[in-house]
Amino acid sequence: MTAIVDYDTGNLRSVADAMRRIGAEFTITAYPALLRGADRVLLPGVGEASSAMAKLRERGLDLVIPTLTQPVLGICIGMQLLCLDSEEGDARCLGIFPAHVRRLKPAENGLKIPHVGWNTVGGLRGTLLEGIDEETYVYYVHSYAAEVCEATIARTDYGGEFSAALGRGNFFGTQFHPEKIILKKFFRICPITVKQHRKQYSEIHSNIKISISTMTILFCAFSHKHSYFFINLNILCICCFAHFLDFLFIKDLKKSFLHNVFLTLFFRSAFL
């Protein structure tokens, strides 16, 4: 499932339409838990950078988005918000990409601001743009752009070069409106899904439960034979914690509960 960040930016419908055209499942949300649990996250945006950042902060998303570990794609203003800062409204942004967002200055070359229409991209690199030809045409509507930096994976020249796309770790961004092919490529970039996270942590979970069981056995074995109340309390606390771990990683409340009921009964019959 893909989560589209809902922070009242105005172009959610167009992004949702694009998702439907490629047959992708998605949800529009501002809830941190849903964003963290999604396989991928889209950060769209139109409008003014400082206002957009204010809306992210109102929802506490300025603290959530930088901590996401799944693939994240910022689109248009969404990409700019992933940069260090923006001259538009003197906005302090999320600081994921090491780039400053500057106002375009092509007036002296006879070019108009905003930059509206088709233009080419070059200097392509990275998995997001793999298979895209140099000098491919993409569509722009913007007056501000991220400067070229070490995270730049595509460039466009409009009175000077700017970052057409950025990529760093699991974060990506496009200043242009991503075509269907770009979205499809983004959907192939999913190194660690939620299910893979659970599988990855299942071994850790098992080791934790073995350690809990061992500590409980030792505690019960060496506790004073009349300290039944404290042994009962210890077993209850440890088994409740084990139950929580089961539910967290297995996501099966019934299975988790039955598992730990048997664990509790075993400890009681063995040591009391």
Check 76, 83, 93, 239 and give the catalytic one: 76
**Catalytic residue from among 48, 147, 161, 179:** 179
Residues 134 and 131: their CA atoms lie apart, in Å, by 9
Going by DSSP bridges, is the β-strand pair 40-43/115-121 parallel, antiparallel, or unpaired? unpaired
Q: Which of the residues 48, 149, 177, 205 is marked catalytic?
A: 177
Name residue 244's amino acid: F
Q: What torsion, rounded to 10 degrees, do the Cα atoms 188, 120, 115, 169 define?
A: 30
Which amino acid, one-letter code, is at 161?
E
**Residue 114 preceded by cis peptide, ω within 30:** yes
Does the active-site annotation cover 76?
A: yes
CA 137 to chain centre: 28
Hey, what are 51's tokens?
A: 């206002």
Closest CA to 69 of 196, 248, 203: 196
Residues counted in the chain: 272
Sheet (strand 26-29) strand order = 26-29, 2-5, 40-43, 72-75, 171-174, 161-168, 152-157
Instruction: Identify whether 179 is a catalytic site residue.
Output: yes
End-to-end CA distance of the chain: 48
Query: Do the beta carbons of residue 85 and residue 47 sit within 8 Å?
Result: no
Task: Quickly list H helices, the chain.
Answer: 12-21, 32-37, 49-58, 61-64, 77-81, 180-188, 194-222, 228-250, 253-271
Residues with catalytic function: 76, 177, 179
